[in-house]
Homo-oligomer: A and B are copies of this chain.
């Protein structure tokens, strides 16, 4: 079974937790074994968001998972990038794992969005889904679905 790792950053955007569930569900349907690595607050939101554990089976702390990370551990990396800290995490995970990678970059502010996008494109060969988004998850969802079909 192929393995996918979803990286969640600081949950400031109302879209992040819903989209994380969406991405996890999509990957499970594609027969990926899915692990979500996140900050503690993002993990709490996931737990509340899926109280029966129907969508999210495996969660880990982003810091401790990085400590034990090795090349080949995952076949796919999907990173949520709503902040520069999340971009740095994604780049670090990308270079250790060296697997197929998708960066979901979303921000309200145009300049910040471009900045995060540039950080990812200069430092990785990840596929980038970039959307000026906050409330409305649809543009992010539609673009993500499109990239997933290219895998």
**A136–B21 touching, CB < 8 Å:** no
In Å, the complex CA distance between A25 and B137 comes to: 22
Q: Mark A116-151, 1 if CB is under 8 A from B, else 0.
A: 000000000000000000011110010000000000
In Å, the complex CA distance between A112 and B25 comes to: 37
* CB interface residues, A 82-130, toward B, < 8 Å: none
Residues of B within 8 A of A35 (CB): none
Given A21-B51, A22-B51, 12 further pairs, Cβ under 8 A: A14-B17, A15-B45, A21-B48, A21-B49, A21-B50, A25-B52, A41-B135, A44-B136, A45-B135, A51-B55, A52-B54, A54-B55
Q: Mark A30-45, 1 if CB is under 8 A from B, else 0.
A: 0000000000010011
In Å, the complex CA distance between A10 and B52 comes to: 26
Residues of B within 8 A of A44 (CB): 136-138
Q: Closest CB-CB distance, A23 to chain B, in whole Å?
A: 9
Closest B residue to A135 by CB, please name it. Answer: B41
A sample of 22 cross-chain residue pairs with beta-carbon separation below 8 angstroms, ordered by A number, consists of A12-B14, A14-B45, A15-B45, A17-B49, A18-B45, A18-B48, A18-B49, A21-B48, A21-B49, A22-B51, A25-B51, A25-B52, A41-B135, A41-B136, A44-B136, A44-B137, A44-B138, A45-B137, A48-B137, A51-B55, A54-B54, A54-B55
Closest B residue to A13 by CB, please name it. Answer: B14
- Give the residue of B22, B52, B135 whose beta carbon is less than 8 angstroms from that of A11: B135
